[in-house]
Amino acid sequence: MKTKLTPKKFYTKLYKMLENVTPLEIDCGQLCDGACCTVTDEVTGMYLFPGERVMYNPMPSWGEIQDIDFTYDGGKSVDFFTCEGKCDRSLRPLSCRIFPLVPYAKRGDKLSIIMDIRGRGMCPLATAMKKEDLSPLFVERVTKAMQLCMLNRETREFIYSLSETIDEIEKMGEDFR
C-alpha cells in the first residue's frame, strides 16, 4: 500500500477512529434486532478493504474469509468476510464499522459518504433515514476514515469499484420499478 503506515498500522488507526461511535446515539440494534449481524440462509458478509485481512491473522473462531467474484483495480481480488452473527467488537471489519454509510467516488471525482443502498429493506436506517439523521460524530468519523482511504491508491481503487457496484444496484432497482 502506498502509505507510510503498514496495513496493520493503517487499519488499527481506522479501527480505533471508529471503535466507539455508532450510527445513532441509542443502540440502533434495538430497532431491528441487530439485522445487519443476523446470519441468514443466504451467504452474507462484508467486503474487507484491501490489505485488511492482516487484521485477521490469526483468524478468530467467529470469522472466515471467502473468495468472491468482486475485484478492484483491474482484477485484484476482494476478500469477503463472513461471521457467525457475533464477533469480538474490537475486531469487527471496517465495513461493519461504517455501516449503514458507505464511501462513494467516481474516478476523478470527490468522495461522498452516502447511505448504503445495499442496506435498504434490511436496515431501518438505510431504508428510512438520511445521512443527516445519523449521529454527527459517527458521520464525521466515517468521513475522516474514508478520506484517509482515498489517499491510498489501493483503498481508493477499491472505493471506485465499490461505487460502480452501488451504481449497478441502483440501476437494477430502477429497472424493476
Helix or strand (DSSP H, E) at 11: helix 7-17
**Nearer Cβ to ligand SF4, position 86 or 107?**
86
Instruction: Write the burial class of residue 144 (CB in 10 Å: 0-12 exposed, 13-18 middle, 19+ buried).
Output: middle
Verify binding: residue 83, ligand SF4, rule CB under 6 A. yes
Q: How far apart are CA 152 and CA 6, in angstroms?
A: 11
Task: Write out the three cell numbers for 162.
Answer: 465499490
Contacting ligand SF4 within 125-164 (CB under 6 A): 125
Beta strands in the chain (DSSP E): 46-47, 63-72, 76-83, 101-104, 112-115
Verify binding: residue 36, ligand SF4, rule CB under 6 A. yes
Q: Shortest approach of ligand SF4 to residue 18 CB, angstroms?
A: 11
Verify binding: residue 121, ligand SF4, rule CB under 6 A. no
Verify binding: residue 98, ligand SF4, rule CB under 6 A. no
What residues line the site for ligand SF4 (CB under 6 A)? 23, 28-29, 31-32, 34-37, 83, 85-87, 92-93, 96, 99-100, 123-125
